[in-house]
């Protein structure tokens, strides 16, 4: 057994170039030799154009406290709860540019959900039983709203947290037609 690949709590210890939001890179005690970090820097330089704006971060450097990073760098993490999921996740709304983008990210994050085309609209669907999930959010006034009605930027500004509701519960939110994946509806995943 190679000691280097020992994991602790399921966290990898190899140095990886993870995208922002890849918690493993941030949290694990990265085994990094001195030279590995230097290489990391050089790789960063050459890939500067192709990487997304916030590239890989070496834990602990630069020595900026997290509340300073969040407050200045237009970063908006909101909690996302999915009905039936054991724990909540957090998603940075600022790094997405549209509702489609957000939907994709949520599909990636909640592995039990996939994106399907329901009536020519992209929706989040439970891959096990085909049940549709309706994205809702709590706005600044404390009201629960359907995601998608207002312009994207306005949504980002007013969203405090999100909940992916099972469509069977989303009564009264007109746009979320509770569709059961039957032979009748055009559902393609």
| Footprint on this chain of other proteins (rule: CB under 8 A) | 3, 6, 8-9, 11, 13, 26-34, 37-38, 41, 44-45, 48, 53-55, 57-69, 71-73
- The span from the CA of 112 to the CA of 85, in Å, is 9
Identify the helix (H) or strand (E) that includes residue 162: strand 161-166
Long-range Cβ pairs for the range 111-118 (8 Å, 24+): 112/85, 113/82, 113/164, 114/189, 115/189, 116/187, 116/188, 116/189, 117/186, 117/187, 117/188, 117/189, 118/179, 118/181, 118/185, 118/186, 118/187
Minimum separation from the CB atom of position 156 to other proteins (A):
14
Least distance to other proteins, CB of residue 99, Å: 24
If the CB atoms of residues 31 and 153 are measured against other proteins, the closer one turns out to be 31
Residue 20 C-beta: closest distance to other proteins, Å: 9
Smallest distance from other proteins to CB 54, Å: 5
Pick between residue 33 and residue 151 the one whose CB is nearest to other proteins.
33
- Residue among 78 and 177 whose Cβ is closer to other proteins: 78
Residues 17/26, Cβ–Cβ less than 8 Å: no
Nearer to other proteins, 76 or 166 (CB): 76
């Amino acid at each position: 057994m190679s000691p280097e690949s020992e994991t602790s709590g399921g966290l990898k210890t190899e140095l990886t170039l993870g995208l922002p939001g890849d918690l493993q890179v941030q949290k694990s005690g990265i085994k990094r030799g001195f030279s590995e970090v230097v290489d990391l820097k050089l790789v960063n330089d050459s890939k500067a154009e192709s990487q997304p704006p916030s590239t890989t971060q070496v834990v602990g450097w630069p020595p900026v406290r997290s509340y300073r990073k969040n407050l200045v760098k237009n970063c908006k993490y909101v909690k996302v709860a999915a009905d039936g999921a054991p724990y909540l996740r957090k998603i940075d709304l600022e790094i997405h540019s549209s509702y489609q983008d957000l939907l994709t990210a949520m599909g990636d994050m909640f592995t039990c959900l996939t994106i399907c085309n329901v009536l020519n609209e992209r929706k989040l669907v439970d891959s096990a039983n085909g049940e549709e999930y309706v994205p809702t959010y709590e706005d600044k006034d404390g009201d629960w709203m359907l995601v998608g009605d207002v312009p994207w930027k306005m949504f980002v500004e007013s969203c405090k947290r999100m909940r992916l509701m099972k469509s069977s519960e989303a009564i009264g939110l007109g746009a979320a037609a509770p569709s059961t994946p039957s032979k009748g509806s055009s559902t393609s995943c």
